[in-house]
C-alpha cells in the first residue's frame, strides 16, 4: 500500500469516533434498546461492541508493531455481547474508551516506521495478518457501525409507524 493511501485510511481511522458519536446523537433513547431481529444487536450493544473491538484493535496494532512474530487472537463477538451482557452496561464508558483508543492510536500510526507496515503477523483464525491488514479493517470499522446505527434507527421508525397505524 502506498504511503498516500495509508494516510487517507489513517485519517478515516482518526475521525471514526466523531462519526459514531454523530450517529448515536441522532437516535432517541427509546430506539437504543430496540432489537431489529433476534440475533441482531441493539444500538446500545453496537456501542459496547465498539469499545471491546477497538480495545482489541489497540492491542493488536501494538503487537504487530513491536513483537517479532505477532499472533492476533480472534474472539467471538456475539458471545462477548451476551457473556458480558452489553445490554446492561452503561454507555458512557464505552464511548470514552472508543474516543481514547482512537486518539491515542492515531498518533502512534502517524509515527510507525515504514517496515512495520509489511511485517508479517498471524491471526488465530484468518491466517496472514499485518499492520496493513489491520488498517484496512479498523479504518472503516466505526464508520460501518455508525451506518448500522442509522439503519437500526430507520427500522425502529418504520416499525413505530406500523404500530401506530395498526388497527387494534
The residues of the shown chain that bind Ni ion, judged by CB under 5 A, are 53
3-state SS, residue 27: coil
Minimum CB–partner distance for residue 96 and Ni ion (Å): 18
CA angle 124, 128, 132 (to 5 degrees): 115
Shorter beta-carbon distance to Ni ion: residue 45 or 130: 45
Q: What are phi and psi of 90, to 5 degrees?
A: -70, 145
Minimum CB–partner distance for residue 17 and Ni ion (Å): 14
Shorter beta-carbon distance to Ni ion: residue 53 or 105: 53
- CB neighbours of 159 closer than 8 A, spacing ≥ 6? 34
CB-based closest residue to Ni ion: 53
Shorter beta-carbon distance to Ni ion: residue 132 or 148: 148
Minimum CB–partner distance for residue 9 and Ni ion (Å): 17
Minimum CB–partner distance for residue 144 and Ni ion (Å): 7
What is the radius of gyration, based on Cα positions, of the chain? 18
Q: Cα 45 from chain centroid?
A: 11
What span, in angstroms and rounded, lies between the C-alpha atoms of 62 and 107?
Answer: 12
Minimum CB–partner distance for residue 149 and Ni ion (Å): 12
- CB neighbours of 95 closer than 8 A, spacing ≥ 6? 17, 20, 21, 24, 47, 51
Pairing outcome for strands 127-130 and 120-123:
antiparallel
Shorter beta-carbon distance to Ni ion: residue 116 or 137: 137
Shorter beta-carbon distance to Ni ion: residue 34 or 80: 80
Amino acid at each position: 500500500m502506498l504511503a498516500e493511501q495509508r494516510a487517507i485510511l489513517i485519517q478515516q481511522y482518526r475521525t471514526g469516533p466523531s462519526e459514531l458519536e454523530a450517529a448515536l446523537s441522532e437516535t432517541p433513547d427509546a430506539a437504543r434498546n430496540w432489537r431489529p431481529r433476534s440475533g441482531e444487536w441493539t444500538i446500545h450493544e453496537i456501542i459496547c461492541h465498539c469499545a471491546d473491538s477497538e480495545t482489541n484493535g489497540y492491542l493488536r496494532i501494538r503487537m504487530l508493531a513491536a513483537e517479532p512474530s505477532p499472533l492476533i487472537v480472534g474472539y467471538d463477538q456475539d458471545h462477548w455481547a451476551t457473556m458480558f451482557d452489553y445490554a446492561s452496561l452503561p454507555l458512557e464508558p464505552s464511548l470514552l474508551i472508543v474516543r481514547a483508543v482512537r486518539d491515542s492510536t492515531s498518533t502512534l500510526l502517524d509515527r510507525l516506521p515504514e517496515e512495520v507496515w509489511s511485517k508479517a503477523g498471524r491471526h488465530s483464525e484468518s491466517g496472514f495478518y499485518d499492520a496493513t491488514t489491520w488498517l484496512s479493517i479498523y479504518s472503516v470499522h466505526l464508520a460501518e457501525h455508525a451506518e448500522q446505527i442509522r439503519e437500526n434507527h430507520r427500522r425502529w421508525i418504520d416499525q413505530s409507524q406500523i404500530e401506530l397505524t395498526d388497527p387494534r
